C-alpha cells in the first residue's frame, strides 16, 4: 500500500479521465490520497472529491503564490470537515520574486505573515502542516521554530535536499519525496536522502507536476509513485514491500489516517 501524501486531484487536468486515473492508481498500490490546499478557488472541489471517494482526504491552506484571497478563506469551516487532515500547503517561496528590492522585501514580509497565520491556525485546530519551501530555507525554518510548529509537526513537501532543514526531523517534521529523486539533475536529493530518518519518510507525487522519469514531460499522476518508491528503495537498499509499509505507517502517524 502506498499513500500519495501530496496530489492536486482538484486540478482541472484530471477532470476528463478522473476515474480511470484513480483505477490506475489503485492497480499500482496507491490506496490513499491527500489533496493539499493551494489555491482558494479549488478548495470546494477538494471537499467534493473527499466526500465522493472514501480514500481521498484534503488539507485547507493557501500556497505562497496564491495569497491574494487568503483573508476570504474560511479556515474554520474547512478544518471542521471530517476528511480535513492538515493545514497547508503553506510556507515561503522566494523563487519568483519580482520587481524592485523594496517590492521583493514587501512580498517576503507578506509571505511570512501568512505563513505564521497558518501555523497558528494549525496549532489551534491541532492538525499537522504541509509546508512548501523554495529558496527560503533559513527564513522558513526560523519561523517554524519560533512559532512552535513542532507542537503539530508536518511534512516538508517536495523536500529540496537542503541540509539546513534536516534538523527538523527532530522537531516532528517529515520529508515528502517525489519525482525529483528520479531526475538526472536530482543528485542533491539523492545524496541527502540517506540522511533522512526512515521514520520520517513520506511518498508524494505533487501531481500534475514533477513527473518522475521515465514519464517526464507528461502529466504526473498517483500511479507514478511506483517509480519514486523503486528509486528510493534502490538508493536505500530497501525492498519495495518494506518501504511501502514504512512510508504508509509514517503517513498514518502524521495525518491520523485510519
Going along the chain from its start, the domains and CATH numbers come out as: 2-255 (3.20.20.140)
Question: In whole angstroms, what is the distance from residue 64 CA to residue 1 CA?
Answer: 32
Hey, which bits of 70-172 come out as E strands? 84-93, 129-134, 154-157
Q: Collapsing DSSP states into helix, strand and coil, what is residue 92?
A: strand
Question: In whole angstroms, what is the distance from residue 58 CA to residue 224 CA?
Answer: 20
Is 243's pLDDT higher than 90? yes
Of 229, 199, 60, 222, the residue nearest 130 (C-alpha): 60
Number of other residues whose CB lies within 10 A of the CB of residue 26: 13
Question: Span 137-144, mean pLDDT?
Answer: 98
Confidence of residue 161 (pLDDT cuts 50, 70, 90): confident
Hey, which bits of the chain come out as E strands? 2-4, 30-35, 56-60, 84-93, 129-134, 154-157, 173-177, 201-203
pTM for this structure?
Answer: 0.97
pLDDT at 41: 93
Edge-to-edge strands, sheet with 56-60: 2-4, 30-35, 56-60, 84-93, 129-134, 154-157, 173-177, 201-203
pLDDT above 70 coverage of the chain, percent? 100
Question: Span 1-20, mean pLDDT?
Answer: 97
Query: Beta strands 154-157 and 2-4: pairing type?
Result: unpaired
Is 258's pLDDT higher than 90? no
Of 71, 185, 92, the residue nearest 135 (C-alpha): 92
Three-state secondary structure string covering 163-193: HHHHHHHHHCEEEEECHHHHCCCCHHHHHHH
How far is C-alpha 177 from the chain's CA centre? 9
- C-alpha dihedral over 40, 46, 48, 54, to 10 degrees? -160
Amino acid at each position: 500500500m502506498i499513500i500519495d501524501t501530496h496530489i492536486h486531484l482538484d486540478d482541472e487536468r484530471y477532470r476528463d479521465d478522473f476515474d480511470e486515473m484513480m483505477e490506475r492508481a489503485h492497480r499500482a498500490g496507491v490506496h490513499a490520497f491527500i489533496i493539499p490546499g493551494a489555491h482558494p478557488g479549488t478548495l470546494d472541489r477538494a471537499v467534493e472529491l473527499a466526500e465522493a471517494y472514501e480514500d481521498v482526504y484534503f488539507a485547507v491552506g493557501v500556497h505562497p503564490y496564491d495569497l491574494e484571497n487568503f483573508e476570504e478563506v474560511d479556515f474554520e469551516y474547512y478544518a471542521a470537515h471530517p476528511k480535513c487532515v492538515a493545514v497547508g500547503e503553506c510556507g515561503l517561496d522566494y523563487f519568483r520574486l519580482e520587481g524592485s528590492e523594496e517590492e521583493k522585501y514587501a512580498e517576503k514580509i507578506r509571505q511570512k505573515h501568512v505563513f505564521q497565520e497558518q501555523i497558528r491556525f494549525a496549532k489551534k485546530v491541532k492538525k499537522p502542516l504541509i509546508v512548501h519551501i523554495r529558496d527560503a530555507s533559513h527564513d522558513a525554518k526560523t519561523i517554524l521554530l519560533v512559532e512552535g510548529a513542532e507542537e503539530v509537526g508536518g511534512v516538508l513537501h517536495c523536500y529540496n535536499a537542503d541540509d539546513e532543514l534536516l534538523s527538523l526531523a527532530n522537531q516532528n517534521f517529515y520529508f515528502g519525496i517525489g519525482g525529483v529523486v528520479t531526475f538526472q539533475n536530482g543528485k542533491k536529493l539523492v545524496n541527502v536522502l540517506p540522511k533522512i530518518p526512515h521514520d520520517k519518510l513520506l511518498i508524494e507525487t505533487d501531481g500534475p507536476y514533477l513527473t518522475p522519469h521515465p514519464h517526464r514531460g507528461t502529466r504526473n499522476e498517483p500511479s507514478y509513485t511506483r517509480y519514486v518508491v523503486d528509486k528510493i528503495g534502490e538508493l536505500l537498499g530497501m525492498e519495495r514491500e518494506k518501504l511501502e509499509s514504512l512510508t504508509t505507517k509514517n503517513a498514518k502517524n502524521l495525518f491520523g489516517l485510519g
